[in-house]
Amino acid sequence: MPSSDARSGLAATEDGLFLLEEHRRQLHRAHEELRGSTHWHGGLPVLLLERCWLRLSRVAVEHLASRLPPDCSQEAPELRRYRELVADGRSAWEAERLCWEDFGAEACREALRRFWAAQERGTQGWTLETYLELLHQYRLRFASEGPRPVPLLVLARREGSPHRGRHRLLWLGPDAAEGRPSMRDTCP
């Protein structure tokens, strides 16, 4: 039985995630979608929560990368090759020279520029690796026996906030709205 504040329609998950009554309805609809799915497909739901606005939205897993593009700057072929060469024992200077020969100086500079721009901007931990791990975990959890959890990405605060942090991935089961009301995850 979910614990909620009757005056406000608020409830929290066991880890203190703040949910409105409408959020709980959306979560219930997402669980119904998963329960009714007989096979893995791109239309399965992923929920995105913008904490400061208390806005919960649904995106199909196949559109997640478009809606929330992962940072792929460190996966540039020029940078991957550079890391491989260094891992193979080449000096940083020699690895850079070889990459310039293979890809051209301009391509290497552009790859570095995109990488450092992403570092400045911040990735909130949402990289190609974390995106692919979400997909992998979703497939595993979808295929497992029992109730299928819904992935919820709690988005980090926007640029300019002193408390930006990282996006947080939660896997919410059908009983996710249980617990005592909390506003721990809302903006100050």
Per-residue model confidence as pLDDT tens digits over 127-167: 888 999 999 999 999 998 888 999 999 888 765 554 467 88
Q: Are 76 and 64 in contact (CB under 8 A)?
A: no
Bridge partner list, 153: 48, 169
How many Å apart are CA 15 and CA 81, to the nearest integer? Answer: 41
Q: How many residues does the chain have?
A: 188
Over 70: is that where the pLDDT of 2 sits? Answer: no
pLDDT for 180 equals 33
- Name the one residue in this structure whose structure tokens are 């975990």: 137
Q: What is the DSSP letter of 148?
A: P
